Amino acid sequence: MDNMTIIAVASIVTAGMTTGFGTMGPALAEGKAVATALTSLAQQPDASATITRTLFVGLAMIESTAIYCFVISMILIFANPFWNHVITQTAGK
């Protein structure tokens, strides 16, 4: 197996794992955040504006983790920085 194949396989596997784990964590965290917010709203309906605002800010922060993982996956698949390194080493031989 040559270097290009190894980098291709490693990039695809890493991109898949990044997307998999990078979406599981935020999904569980968002579910827990919503469940806790709903419990808080049921206990203190007067504070609904504050709880809802804080919930949406928190959900945006949690979702940014999934977006960063997605961006890393796309970089690994479509704009892998290791390709240029291997191509220049292969061309030099």
What local confidence, expressed as pLDDT, does residue 82 receive?
80
Domains of the chain in sequence order: 3-91 (1.20.20.10)
What local confidence, expressed as pLDDT, does residue 47 receive?
94
Within 10 angstroms of residue 85's Cβ, the number of other Cβ atoms is 12
Q: How far, in Å, CA of 28 to CA of 78, rounded?
A: 28
Tens of pLDDT, residue by residue over 12-67, are 999 999 999 999 999 999 999 999 999 999 999 999 999 999 999 999 999 999 99
Q: Which of 54, 51, 55 is nearest to 40 (CA)?
A: 51
